[in-house]
A and B are shown apart, each in its own frame.
Chain A
Amino acid sequence: MPVLEGKELRIVGFLCNWCSYGGADSAGVARAAQPTDLRIIRVPCSGRVDPLFIVKALLNGADGVLVSGCHPRDCHYSAGNYYARRRLEVLKQFLPVLGIDDRRFEYTWVSASEAQRWQHVITTFTGRVHALGPAPRFGDSRPLLKVADMALSALRPLGTGKAAALDELKKAIKARLPELECVIGWQQGYDGAHTVPLFAKTPEDVDKLVWGPFNVNNPAVYLPSFKGKKVGIMVKGCDGRSVVEQLQENLINREDVVIFAMPCEGTLDMARVSEKLGRYTSIDAVSCDEAAVTVTADGKEHRFCMADFAQGKCYGCTAPLAATADASVGGPVSVNPGPYTPPELALLDSLSLPERMQFWSGQMERCLRCYACRNACPMCVCRDFCVSDSRDPHWMNQKDDEREKLFFQTIHALHLAGRCTGCGECQRACPVGIPILALRQQISRAVGQLFDGYKAGFDPAATPPLLTYAPEEKNIHERDWK
């Protein structure tokens, strides 16, 4: 249906079959005057509205999106709108990080008999969208390239973990090894400045395990693939949170994993390390003191002070020792819980909405859709059956434009809402350095603010907030918007 040139905007409405669709119908029957910009899509329940419907509409040229369902407590399916309320509120707080004005999206409740209320809702929302004007198109904006500021201060002292009692941990691992399929940890990679995941099956393998600032990979990514078998895993604090989140979601069974933990003093940001090392043919030596790693490459010494070269997440880490563990070597670390904004997010916060859109188009341009980001994520559960590759449903097409690529990132980020532990593997895995972690961090921040400071991966017994609801939400004030 062509939009009347200049007069109408494109507004998409997702209306629940049982209430709001009826409400709109009643308004029509009552001949209540209302704007004509809305294109209605009837859905069985507001709970059927995947937040991605909304993002897809907004990225593809909708000027506004409205979701309307039955009033809370009136859902035809009892609780569909309660779940919807949580998801849609998180979405609302997520949109600005993409550079989309959150006022272009609204959700509300209208019952089948509320013709007048419907008239009011649609008039108010259409008026609001008109005041905002036609939505800026993603992809029309000139790319803006900005780099996050990595001069950070950590919530606790960072170091090289030189004093960690690795031998003691190895002893504990060897003691449990006979009952385990393998123990996942780290060993040296193709040179002394890289480690890779190791699946230790024999005591000789256990001797190869290493601990320290090069242990960047998150071994938890492999755990769900061992479901049903008994395995051990060595964890840093952040890896331990991924394991806990997997437990929260029943992706693994507690009795099938044996967790070996040590306090982590931080890991290196290999991107910045490689940049400083430059092009080299071989590593001659790697040595550590308490505060720094010294790498000698092609006869040249480079010193990497942990306080300057750690991964972004390490500066804000509040739990360097996994709390859920079967064998722990080394005492708890005291952390100053002070405020901390991750560097990628701080960068996005400092930009205006149009600039954010420009930023993402500049970043996504170079994405090759290799999906290393997706596959490195320990919480990505669909594995070989990702919607990004599916033709039915056809969520994504194969065009290589920035919008399509950003849409994939949105899918990943929204599927991780309330589940992402901030391990940063998605961003670390990206070969072209796209700061995609910012999208996940924004959602985690919103989830924290809406659900009493909830953080994923801390409590094995907790239900992730988007998998449940409360009839009265303390921090969601969805009726206030008019």
Chain B
Amino acid sequence: MSTTRFVASDGLPAFLSFLVKTGRRVLAPAEKPAVKSSVVFEPWSEGKAFTLQKATVPAKEAVLPQCETLLTYKKTREGDSVSLTLDDTPEAQPTAVFGCRPCDARGYAVLDRPYLRGPFVDPYYKARRENLVVFTVTCSSGCNTCFCHWLGGGPSSPEGSDVLLTEIEGGYVLQSVTDKGAEVLGTSSLADGADKFPLVEAARKAAWASLVPAPDIKGAQTALSALFSDLDFWQAQTDRCLSCGACTYFCPTCYCFNITDEGESFDEQGGRRLRSWDNCMSSLFTREASGHNPRMLKAQRMRNRVSHKYSFYPENWGAYSCSGCGRCVSNCPVCLDIRAIVLAAIARTADK
């Protein structure tokens, strides 16, 4: 049974305060002023401004930080003996993500599969994920680069969220999706919102109506696996790619990482093992110690990125690993459009 509450627009900061008081770190979108302003998730504290616009950078940080310490090591010397101490306790502060979009939340569902359901459970991810509660704002309209509805999502898709917020006149209706969400809402002092549900339905319908109709991409998985060795196709699709990593670093579903050991300053005999984001668009990603690189060309790397999302991952997990947020399109310096590649792949195999 879902719990429904209502909060007036000016009551949002008080609700965030309540979340902070439950002992959570609250990550909320903050606008960064610049000539090209951007919106990023940041820890919120009393009095800080926040926004509910769609963030430039997704809230993946909450479960998979750009860089995290897997372990710290320290060397101590006593007389002739040297001892090494290791600390690998996962850091997982209870966290609430407040104000992400359904496409961000769906990213958590995508990440959960390899990190939690595969043969290896990642203890760091697990600790953070279990301590996370996700408050998602449903979208009131589509946008030029979004395509969540191509992939079974939508402006009010609940996958990956604990609570959905929908804006109606005067405020937001909060509706729990999971027990965790219901529990948090239940302990808050917000007023019941069940009577506002018809307004929520209307808002969601209007959002759906604003979307440009989706093409049929059911053939994507087979088309992409058929094109695996069609290098001409991939070369034509990627001629303008610059091989940076913006598309993957701004993606809520990309989850590859690199592990490095970094020493501390000279005073301290020790260091830390870091896990930081890595991306398959970089040539270094697959360069082997021998110098050989199985994905030397950007075309091969793009094939990997697109196929992983629309073919390999679906093969392994039965779902796309793309939530259609469109950030790889909007943040790419050359507007490379993954939608166009998928459609071109389907068209190319249909021709044959």
- Write the chain B residue with the least CB distance to A432: B38
- Asked if B244 and A371 make an inter-chain contact with CB atoms under 8 angstroms apart, the answer reads yes
- Asked if B243 and A147 make an inter-chain contact with CB atoms under 8 angstroms apart, the answer reads no
| Tally of contacts, chain A with chain B, CB under 8 A | 154
When the two chains form the complex, which single residue of B143, B242, B258, B340 contacts A221, counting CB atoms closer than 8 Å?
A: B242
- Chain B, residues 58-72, CB within 8 Å of chain A (1/0): the string is 000000011100000
- Asked if A271 and B262 make an inter-chain contact with CB atoms under 8 angstroms apart, the answer reads no
Query: Given A281-B144, A398-B260: A432 and B56 within 8 A (CB)?
Result: yes
Determine if A327 is an interface residue (Cβ-Cβ < 8 Å): no
Q: Which residues of B contact A60 (CB under 8 A)?
A: 265
Determine if A411 is an interface residue (Cβ-Cβ < 8 Å): no
When the two chains form the complex, which single residue of A148, A199, A371 contacts B245, counting CB atoms closer than 8 Å?
A: A371
When the two chains form the complex, which single residue of B54, B57, B333 contacts A432, counting CB atoms closer than 8 Å?
A: B57
When the two chains form the complex, which single residue of B57, B141, B211, B242 contacts A376, counting CB atoms closer than 8 Å?
A: B242
- Write the chain B residue with the least CB distance to A275: B37
Determine if B249 is an interface residue (Cβ-Cβ < 8 Å): yes
| Complex-state Cα separation, A368 to B244, whole angstroms | 12
Determine if B329 is an interface residue (Cβ-Cβ < 8 Å): yes
Q: Which residues of B contact A399 (CB under 8 A)?
A: 67, 262, 274
Determine if B135 is an interface residue (Cβ-Cβ < 8 Å): no
Enumerate A267-295 residues with CB–CB distance to B below 8 Å.
269, 271-272, 275, 279-283
- Among A45-53, A100-108, A130-138, A186-194, the stretch in contact with B: A186-194
Q: Which residues of A contact B67 (CB under 8 A)?
A: 398-400
Q: Which residues of B contact A435 (CB under 8 A)?
A: 34-35
Determine if A391 is an interface residue (Cβ-Cβ < 8 Å): yes
Q: Which residues of B contact A354 (CB under 8 A)?
A: none
Q: What is the minimal beta-carbon distance from A376 to any residue of chain B, in angstroms?
A: 5
- Asked if B57 and A366 make an inter-chain contact with CB atoms under 8 angstroms apart, the answer reads yes
- Asked if B262 and A397 make an inter-chain contact with CB atoms under 8 angstroms apart, the answer reads yes
Q: What is the minimal beta-carbon distance from A151 to any residue of chain B, in angstroms?
A: 12
Q: What is the minimal beta-carbon distance from B187 to any residue of chain A, in angstroms?
A: 33
Enumerate A360-398 residues with CB–CB distance to B below 8 Å.
363, 366, 368-372, 374-376, 383-384, 389, 391, 397-398
When the two chains form the complex, which single residue of A191, A398, A430 contacts B262, counting CB atoms closer than 8 Å?
A: A398
Query: Given A221-B242, A369-B249, A433-B36: A279 and B66 within 8 A (CB)?
Result: no
- Asked if A384 and B331 make an inter-chain contact with CB atoms under 8 angstroms apart, the answer reads no
Q: Tell me if B's interface is mostly helix, strand, loop or mixed.
A: loop
Q: Which residues of B contact A312 (CB under 8 A)?
A: 35
Determine if A150 is an interface residue (Cβ-Cβ < 8 Å): yes
- Write the chain A residue with the least CB distance to B54: A279
| Complex-state Cα separation, A358 to B38, whole angstroms | 19
- Asked if A368 and B333 make an inter-chain contact with CB atoms under 8 angstroms apart, the answer reads no
Q: Which residues of A contact B35 (CB under 8 A)?
A: 147-148, 150, 269, 271-272, 312, 343, 433, 435
Size of A's binding interface in residues, CB under 8 A: 57
| Complex-state Cα separation, A376 to B340, whole angstroms | 22
Q: What is the minimal beta-carbon distance from A166 to any residue of chain B, in angstroms?
A: 20
| Complex-state Cα separation, A374 to B246, whole angstroms | 11
| Complex-state Cα separation, A431 to B284, whole angstroms | 22
- Asked if A384 and B243 make an inter-chain contact with CB atoms under 8 angstroms apart, the answer reads yes
Q: Which residues of B contact A222 (CB under 8 A)?
A: 240
Size of B's binding interface in residues, CB under 8 A: 55
Determine if A2 is an interface residue (Cβ-Cβ < 8 Å): yes
| Complex-state Cα separation, A191 to B262, whole angstroms | 45
- Asked if A375 and B40 make an inter-chain contact with CB atoms under 8 angstroms apart, the answer reads no
| Complex-state Cα separation, A282 to B145, whole angstroms | 9
- Asked if A374 and B250 make an inter-chain contact with CB atoms under 8 angstroms apart, the answer reads no
Q: What is the minimal beta-carbon distance from B31 to any residue of chain A, in angstroms?
A: 10
Determine if A196 is an interface residue (Cβ-Cβ < 8 Å): yes
- Asked if B335 and A196 make an inter-chain contact with CB atoms under 8 angstroms apart, the answer reads yes
When the two chains form the complex, which single residue of A150, A196, A368, A374 contacts B334, counting CB atoms closer than 8 Å?
A: A196
Determine if A86 is an interface residue (Cβ-Cβ < 8 Å): no
Query: Given A269-B35, A281-B141: A370 and B240 within 8 A (CB)?
Result: no
Q: Which residues of B contact A372 (CB under 8 A)?
A: 242, 244-246, 331-333
Q: What is the minimal beta-carbon distance from A24 to any residue of chain B, in angstroms?
A: 22
- Asked if A368 and B242 make an inter-chain contact with CB atoms under 8 angstroms apart, the answer reads no
Enumerate B315-349 residues with CB–CB distance to A below 8 Å.
329-337, 339-340
- Chain B, residues 36-53, CB within 8 Å of chain A (1/0): the string is 111010000000000000
| Complex-state Cα separation, A369 to B250, whole angstroms | 11
Query: Can you give 15 contacting A-B residue pairs, CB < 8 Å?
Result: A145-B34, A146-B33, A190-B329, A190-B335, A196-B240, A279-B141, A281-B143, A366-B57, A374-B244, A384-B243, A389-B282, A397-B260, A399-B67, A400-B65, A429-B242
State the A residues within 8 Å of B (CB): 2, 60-61, 145-148, 150, 189-191, 194, 196-199, 217, 221-222, 269, 271-272, 275, 279-283, 312, 343, 363, 366, 368-372, 374-376, 383-384, 389, 391, 397-400, 425, 428-435
Beyond the given A148-B35, A222-B240, please list 8 additional residue pairs across the A-B interface where CB-CB is below 8 A: A197-B334, A279-B141, A281-B143, A370-B250, A372-B242, A383-B243, A384-B243, A431-B331
